[in-house]
Amino acid sequence: MSRLVRPVVAVLFLLAGCVQQPPPNALYGPLPPEPPGTARLVFYRAITYYGAMQWRQVYLNGKPSGESRPGTVFYRDVPPGRYDLTIQTDRYYPNQFKTVVMGAGETFYINIDTLPRTACLKGNGGLDCAADAFILTVVSPERGFADIQGLQLIAG
């Protein structure tokens, strides 16, 4: 009997090693409280097939504010006001950027996603493939909070 148990136990240990561990600094609860008199922008990006490995710069009012990476979340505490939110992209898509007007104590969750590349066309001596379009979507606080659980908190 022990001759059968050993291989089974060995296989179980091998399978246990294949279980994906959560990333360091993974979120499983709320973010730290924001300073009084400020508003918060939370940018997050799940790991998706399209554009999965690309890091992209996020801009607030045209100024670099953080770098989006797959499977991560970062936030910025900002003074209340109007913010034009954009992201570095290789292809433009209607309404892919957003403008928000924030009051003190408000939190906006911004989901960063990509559209798949369009079909490749043969021409000019090779394949011509359109690039990825990165899109910002403002989501409800309930959805945003749920979406960031398990993502890695980074400085951006």
Answer whether residue 19 is part of any domain.
Answer: no
Per the structure, the complete domain to which residue 128 belongs is given by 24-153
Q: For residues 112 and 134, is the Cβ–Cβ distance under 8 A? A: yes
DSSP code, position 130: P
Answer whether residue 76 is part of any domain.
Answer: yes
DSSP string over 1-32: -HHHHHHHHHHHHHHHHTSPPPPTTB--SPPP
| pLDDT tens per residue, range 123-141 | 555 554 656 789 999 999 9
Residue 142, classed as helix, strand or coil, is helix
Neighbours of 66 (CB within 10 A): 20
Split into its structural domains, the chain has a count of 1
- Mean pLDDT within 42-69: 87
Amino acid at 91: R
Give the chain's mean pLDDT: 83
Residue with tokens 């279980």: 19
Answer whether residue 7 is part of any domain.
Answer: no
Kindly give, in sequence order, each residue whose CB lies less than 8 Å from that of residue 52, ignoring residues fewer than 6 positions away: 70
The C-alpha atoms of residue 46 and residue 150 are separated, in whole angstroms, by 10
Higher pLDDT, 12 or 131: 131
If we measure between CA atoms, which residue out of 76, 53, 64 comes closest to residue 153?
76
Answer whether residue 10 is part of any domain.
Answer: no
Answer whether residue 97 is part of any domain.
Answer: yes
Answer whether residue 37 is part of any domain.
Answer: yes
Pairing of strands 81-87, 56-60: antiparallel
Indicate the pLDDT class of residue 50, thresholds 50, 70 and 90.
Answer: low
Portion of the chain with pLDDT greater than 70, in percent: 71
Answer whether residue 45 is part of any domain.
Answer: yes
